Structure 1
Amino acid sequence: MTGAAEEAEQVVGAVLSDFTNGGGRGVVVDSPPGAGKSTLVARAAVEIARRGEPVMLVAQTNEQVDALIDRIARQAPELRIGRLSATTYEPTPRVAHPGVTVAGRLEDLNDPHIVAGTAAKWMHVTCPPWPWAIIDEAYQMRSDTLLRVAGRFERALFVGDPGQLDPFSIIEVDRWTGLTWDPMQSAVAALLRHNPDLPVHQLPVSWRLSGSAAPPVSAAFYPFTGFQAATSPGERRMDYRTRGFGGPADETLETAARTGWAFHELPARHTLRTDTQAVDAIVGLAERALQRGATTWSEATPEETPLSADRIAIGAAHRDQVAAIRRTLTTRGFPAIKVDTANRLQGSEYDLVLVLHPLSGRRDATEFHLESGRLCVLTSRHRHACIVVARAGIQELLDAHPPTEPMHLGVPAKFPDGWEANQAMLTHLRDHRVTAG
């Protein structure tokens, strides 16, 4: 076991001890990207269930619930697992295990050891309090949602990533800002605000991010609770089976393979939000990687593994950008490449990730586009390489738009703020810049 693995195991052991033996109502675990959050959730659920005690498992989306059920069912096939679902839910292959029962009511779940469902489903379940609950992606849960499910358990483990996107709403929420019961706080923020003595643990290593990726992500988005990569330099490698032609696209791909990062910089220009040149560039880079026969090596698969389209993702800030990229990929014959917004890419992992920078081509830097969690999600989904596509001029845009968010009484300052995080990541990306056009 490596030093990083030993350190991680010690923290996990302390978490499980605090959770199962402590006297308070909860334990909080902060997890950086790829730190084994889902592994911890599954391990805690299995250990408690094997002692003969029922476990309530809460996640924020159906995809998260199904992924956890799949992991637990493979790890402990002897356990009975109930999958709480809405009437519109269609069971996925991930829940097709012999010990898994899918139903909309607790009484139809075959007396399970573990019951899993979304927070939205648990809000409408009437039951006596469960002795144990595990809440996954707790920083994505709104505090009012926690309030509605808190009466259904006696003690809970809250696991999530504090550096990613906070809960959001499409309606105006300023009227609640600063109030102790602000529903737009994350569940963890509200929990610690009212229970400051609850134990908080930090998982110390990332199993997803490599030695080249963990330091800049940690410095930009986790300055006070930093983490390290679990892998050593040289354990992962990306290459191509064919040589390039020497243009900007090939230079960008080779920079990404060599260093784990590349910044494909288009000419400075103010554009519409759906920048067709940027869309063509980012699709072209993904297409070119597949054309050149990209391959990967890692500690998990030490033999050469071809990079398939389903191991590539493209992230953007807006749904219209996503739609344009997806449409272009389909036209060019690559529909298997994942394309989505940062909100929907949270929790996922790919070998190669391409990012359309939220500030590319903009005249202003709004709070939405400066949100540190958005850039954190987009630049922390990869195992091997991340390529950021943007127009030149982001530095000048940041200099012209310093932070202007108002300070509110009763609202803890967020560190780092979006402006600082964007500056830190841009400083890192400049060392991997390839000028295009």
Structure 2
Amino acid sequence: MATLPLSPSVEADQVVGAVLADLATGDHRGVVVDSPPGAGKSTLVVRAAGELAAAGEPLMIVAQTNEQVDDLIDRLGARSPETPVGRLSAVDYAPSDRVRDHPRCRVGAKVTDLGSPAVTIGTAAKWATVTEGLWPWAIVDEAYQMRSDALLRVAPRFARALFVGDPGQLDPFSTVDVDRWTGLSWDPMQSAVAVLLRHNPDLPVHRLPVSWRLPASAAPVVAEAFYPFTGFRSGTGPGDRTLSFTRPASSPLDEVLDTAAATGWGLHELPARFTVRTDAEAAAACAQLAARALSRDGHTEAAPVTPARVAIGAAHRDQAATIRALLPPEAAGVTVDTANRLQGREYDLTIVLHPLSGRQDATAFHLESGRLCVLTSRHRNACVVVARAGIADLLDAHPSTEPVHLNVPVKFPDGWEANQAILAHLAAVARA
């Protein structure tokens, strides 16, 4: 008799159970968990923190940004309100509402200011200033965003650690020249997880198998383009997520939105032309798409589409600023930001200005697979891409010319291949 496939929730629970079992009984110094977009990474972090704290194991949590720290404190307060939490911060830090609402959270600039909480949490930059104290456990959140040198600075503070992150997202970056370290096994520009596994190849690695954010229309597309060797599936089935508009279409932009509502994806293609980076026509199209989605009274299966549930993503800050300036008053609450700042967040509808739109060249920055992965994996219902025609030709005319270095692991997929996969799917949707 054929074995029935596991339901998404059962499959996910089995992996989470294996992770927690490794924490409780394993003898490894570290456990790595790879998470695709929206797979419950933060939920796992909060659950693991609660169980370790309940077992009498004080722990430290290392996040990468203050926004991530405050979000985790909010989640810890909701799941384990009885657990004392210490929030390491800068001297001039003003606690957010999420931190103030935690019933047992204490804020301090030094570890000694926090008493002896069960959970001490701060950014990697803040933990690097801590020179005393040892915790039995650490949880490193968004570990693929963390540079390896940042991990080395905090590693003396813990005995064992859980590393959780998304291998398909943006890699760490630097504004200074880093070529001198290229090829070294401890290259500081590699992610903390990459260096950790190169020096500790026997560490257990678990992979969360289900995305609870991406709908059934998006999970296979994103998995094929950015996670070709691990894959994942959607926690929802076809038809579980819906997007509809009360008012009928009256323009080409509305037709693109209707296509996105029906298929999960939309492509608004502008005429081929080389442009400056802040392409006014493309920026206006992004702003107008968001405004039309709101003015047509968009609804998901759960609630109306409000400005807070719509995001526009771009590669550069000046592009985001141009789009933001073009938003009409009724769309003023729409989030407009770069991929770096949208990472980790989710919306009902996302609009993406393609990083290669209007360009004459395909640089490593614009080809980076993690950037496009972030931009096209923030949505729960639909994603619309705005791009000038000709990107596929640009990719064919500019194969990768990046130098190949000895002892540097090859990253899969490369940006050229990932871009081609996403473009092919968008073109197929547009032709249908």
Give the structure-2-normalised TM-score: 0.97
Structure 1 residue ranges (4+ consecutive) displaced by more than 2 angstroms after TM superposition = 331-335, 432-435
1:217 corresponds to which letter in structure 2? V
1:137 to 139, 142, 154: 142
CA distance in 1, matches of 2:123, 2:278: 33
CA distance in 2, matches of 1:342, 1:241: 30
The residue aligned with 1:251 is 255
CA distance in 2, matches of 1:110, 1:337: 40
The residue aligned with 1:181 is 186
1:354 to 351, 363, 368: 351
CA distance in 2, matches of 1:61, 1:72: 17
* CA drift at 1:244: 1.5
The residue aligned with 2:319 is 321
The residue aligned with 1:401 is 398
1:108 corresponds to which letter in structure 2? D
The residue aligned with 2:288 is 284
CA distance in 2, matches of 1:216, 1:51: 41
2:143 corresponds to which letter in structure 1? A
CA distance in 2, matches of 1:241, 1:225: 39
CA distance in 2, matches of 1:352, 1:178: 40
The residue aligned with 1:51 is 55
* CA drift at 1:336: 1.0
- Cα deviation, 1:292-350, whole Å, max 9, x if unaligned, reads 000000xxx4xxx1100011000000111011111112x54422111111011110011
Matched-pair identity in % = 66
The residue aligned with 2:360 is 363
Greater CA drift, 168-177 or 184-193: 168-177
The residue aligned with 1:77 is 81
Give the structure-1-normalised TM-score: 0.96
Alignment partner of 1:293 is 2:297 = yes
The residue aligned with 1:242 is 247
Alignment partner of 1:28 is 2:32 = yes
1:270 to 271, 274, 284: 274
Give the secondary structure class of the aligned counterpart of 1:432: helix
2:217 corresponds to which letter in structure 1? S
Gaps of 5+ in 2: none
CA distance in 2, matches of 1:394, 1:128: 53
- Cα deviation, 1:72-97, whole Å, max 9, x if unaligned, reads 11101111111110113221111112
Alignment partner of 1:112 is 2:91 = no
1:312 to 310, 313, 317: 310
Give the secondary structure class of the aligned counterpart of 2:385: strand
Contact kept in structure 2, 1:265 and 1:433, CA below 8 Å? no
2:255 corresponds to which letter in structure 1? E
Give the secondary structure class of the aligned counterpart of 2:284: helix
1:228 corresponds to which letter in structure 2? R
Greater CA drift, 167-176 or 157-166: 167-176
CA distance in 2, matches of 1:228, 1:199: 22
* CA drift at 1:103: 0.9
CA distance in 1, matches of 2:407, 2:24: 33
Give the secondary structure class of the aligned counterpart of 1:155: strand
CA distance in 2, matches of 1:364, 1:38: 37
The residue aligned with 1:4 is 8
CA distance in 2, matches of 1:334, 1:90: 29
- Cα deviation, 1:218-250, whole Å, max 9, x if unaligned, reads 0000000000001111111110111121x2101
Give the secondary structure class of the aligned counterpart of 2:331: coil
The residue aligned with 1:87 is 91
* CA drift at 1:174: 1.2
1:62 to 37, 62, 66: 66
2:46 to 27, 42, 50: 42
Gaps of 5+ in 1: none
Alignment partner of 1:419 is 2:416 = yes
* CA drift at 1:129: 1.7
1:150 to 142, 149, 155: 155
CA distance in 2, matches of 1:335, 1:288: 13
1:243 corresponds to which letter in structure 2? P
* CA drift at 1:6: 0.2
The size of the alignment, in residue pairs, is 427
2:239 corresponds to which letter in structure 1? G
Contact kept in structure 1, 2:85 and 2:105, CA below 8 Å? yes
Contact kept in structure 2, 1:251 and 1:434, CA below 8 Å? no
Aligned-residue CA RMSD (Å)? 1.3
CA distance in 2, matches of 1:157, 1:364: 40
Contact kept in structure 1, 2:147 and 2:172, CA below 8 Å? yes
CA distance in 1, matches of 2:94, 2:320: 25
* CA drift at 1:434: 7.8
The residue aligned with 2:370 is 373
The residue aligned with 1:162 is 167
Give the secondary structure class of the aligned counterpart of 1:425: helix
2:218 to 208, 213, 216: 213
